[in-house]
Amino acid sequence: MATSTLLQYLQETDGDGVANGITPSNRRQTETFIASETLAVGDLVSLDLAATGNGVKSLKIMKANTTTGADKCFVGVVLESVESDGALTAGSSIRVVIRGIVPALMVGKNDQNANAVIAVGDPIALATTAGNAALLVTAGFSEVGIAVEGTSSAAAAALKDIYVISRF
């Protein structure tokens, strides 16, 4: 079940002046899915369109990328495991950010795998490397987010904040 989209709280700090962060004001929406493969925190994920049956296809996730058909249905970014042991392996329940700011694996390349600087506010697309985000430069590729944090050209995959654009 998805987290609520109702704004619950509009204060920047609590009564002691401590920053509230993203959760109390509900600026992030999450869904829980089941992993079809081993995932990592920050992976961009897709529905597993190779799964049998539409019910299972809407329940299972895999790393998203631009090179094959079964993993192009982007849903969000892996936030954490829901399992008591923290597992992110096949069969594990995984919490995914489907809207809002989240650290995602971003590379200093564009969606066609050429080196590129990514600046704050740039559109983000799926990278050719499964699970990674890249700069959107090519017509026909889907924008999946907006860079909240930038990266340098040719930078290796690292957790950088993006704003995930809701598809739901």
Q: Categorize the per-residue pLDDT at 2 as very low, low, confident or very high, splitting at 50, 70 and 90.
A: low
pLDDT digits (tens, 9 = 90+) for 44-95: 999 998 888 888 999 999 999 877 666 688 999 999 999 999 999 999 999 9
Would the pLDDT of 153 be above 90?
yes
Tell me how crowded residue 55 is: count the other CB atoms within 10 A of its CB: 9
Tell me how crowded residue 91 is: count the other CB atoms within 10 A of its CB: 11
pLDDT digits (tens, 9 = 90+) for 106-137: 999 999 899 999 999 999 999 989 999 999 99
Cβ burial, residue 144 (10 Å; 0-12/13-18/19+) = buried
The rounded distance, in Å, linking the Cα atoms of 149 and 121 is 8
The pLDDT value given to residue 25:
59
Angle at alpha carbon of residue 156, lines to 34 and 163, rounded to 5°:
55
Per-residue tokens: 164:
């995930």
The pLDDT value given to residue 28:
85
The rounded distance, in Å, linking the Cα atoms of 32 and 42 is 15
pTM of the model: 0.87
Residue 105, CB half-sphere, CA atoms under 13 Å: how many? 22
